[in-house]
Structure 1
Amino acid sequence: MKKVAIILFLVGLSFVFYAGVQLKSNKQSEKTALVHAHKILESSDITKPPSHLSFQSGQTIGVLQIPTIGKELPIVEGIDEDALKNGVGHYTGTVYPGQKDQILLSGHRDTVFTGLDKLKTGDPIIVEMQHGSFTYGVKDTAIVDGNDTSIIHSTAPNEMLILSTCYPFRYIGNAPQRFIIYAEPMGDFE
């Protein structure tokens, strides 16, 4: 019985070690992508948004700032696992800031979007891209089923920023729901 307990303890310890290595690796990838995003923004010439922006999956495209919870995160194109290891993913089927429609950004609840549930109505969310800096204010939140894709739809001519992550936040394993934040433009960038 003592050998079984020791074996189980070692297996459990190896799982914890593996999870720690994965978390550290993801954090390093996120940090590298953020440095790259800042270089892109520093070298860009801010003009009116082009009518057609195009990025490759996994490409770093900007920076997401959520001051209320102290987050500064790289935005990458796409929402596949490889993209989400580097930061917040932009859902390719939606537009970019300044294009007067829906922008959907997704991220993991246990890495980039920890603390997202602390946001309140009116809190600012800033998206910086090569074509400008765009500030949104939280309008509402919702919890939807994990398979619910009804949140992805055109909002034209109104611009709406949607942040999406798994829910509940402290759930172990694949969470069954999604936590959604709806934010509208603040100020005038029209």
Structure 2
Amino acid sequence: MLALFIIGFALIGDGLYIKLKAVLAQHLLQQAWQETLTTQTPQKAWSWADTYPVAEISLPNLAIEPVIALRGSSGEALAFAPGHLENTAQPGQQGTAVYAAHRDTHFAFLEKIKATDIIKVKDPQGRDHFYRVDNIRITKWDQSGITNQNSSKRIALVTCWPFNAQTPGPLRYIVEGHLLEKSLSD
């Protein structure tokens, strides 16, 4: 019985550690992001980081805190924040800007998003880009159909699915949207 208690406590502790690390990392990344916007130079959130903040993602329709996204999608980057996938478009540019994150931390809110919602992405120059969600789908990880070779300006937010799963799986939840050419404040 004691062994079961210890194992249970360890599993709960591990789950809490991951969520606390995600929250603390976002706090440090928010500071680095503000410095990036001020200096117009990429700033690392901690000295040993192999990546730096490249975007701030928010959903004006949902009451969630904005999340800071990191350059790249390595396991280390995704442990702390969403990652902007290498070789995909920058926000507001032709092609598809692809961001990936874990379903139980930074992209847990994707479960609540719906078609026509707005995704706001702030780039390192401080420009806001607004995308309208036009497609939500579930697919196998290797059959996403996301392409960067298109003439439109798009975004894709990708996470694992189902949201309540306890183990990794082959399915991905993909939220896609198109750039609104006029600012929402115009």
Total equivalences in the alignment? 174
Tell me the percent identity.
21
Deviation at 1:40, TM superposition (A): 1.6
Match of residue 66 from structure 1? 59
Residue 24 of structure 1 and its aligned partner are, at CA, apart by: 1.0
Q: Does the 8 A contact of 1:57 with 1:78 survive in 2?
A: no
Q: 1:117 to 1:18 in 2, by over 3 A?
A: closer
Any idea what the Cα deviations from partners look like across 1:64-109, whole Å, max 9, x if unmatched?
A: 1112332300010011121112211100120101221111011111
Q: How does 1:14-93 map to 2 (within 5 A)?
A: 14-44=10-40, 58-69=51-62, 70-93=64-87
What's 1:178 paired with?
172
2:120 aligned with 1:111, yes or no?
Answer: no
- Higher mean C-alpha deviation, range 24-33 or range 164-173: 24-33
- SS of residue matched to 2:92: coil
Of 130, 135, 143 in structure 1, the residue corresponding to residue 138 of structure 2 is 143
Q: Which residue of 1 aligns with 2:45?
A: none
Match of 1:53 in 2: none
Q: Would the aligned equivalents of 1:57 and 1:77 in 2 still touch at CA under 8 Å?
A: no
Q: CA deviation at 1:167?
A: 0.4
Would you say the 8 A contact 2:73–2:84 is kept in 1? yes
Unaligned runs of 5+ in 1: 46-55
Q: Please state how far the C-alpha of 1:149 moved relative to its aligned partner.
A: 4.4
Q: Match of 2:92? A: 98
State the distance in 1 between where 2:35 and 2:130 align. Answer: 20
TM-score (normalised: structure 1): 0.83
Aligned partners of 1:115, 1:18: CA distance in 2, in Å? Answer: 21
| Gaps in structure 2 of 5+ consecutive residues | 42-48
The alignment yields a C-alpha RMSD, in angstroms, of: 2.0
Runs of 4+ displaced beyond 3 Å: 42-45
Whole-Å separation in 2 of the counterparts to 1:98 and 1:153: 13
* 8 Å contact from structure 1 (residues 76, 89) kept in 2: yes
Deviation track 1:116-161 (CA, whole Å, cap 9, x = no partner) reads 1221222111111123211111111110012324324422x21110
Letter in 1 for 2:61: T
Q: Which moved more, 1:11-20 or 1:85-94?
A: 11-20
Which structure: larger Rg?
Answer: 1
DSSP 3-state at the match of 1:20: helix
Q: Give the TM-score normalised by the residue count of structure 2.
A: 0.85
> Which of 133-142 and 115-124 deviates more?
115-124
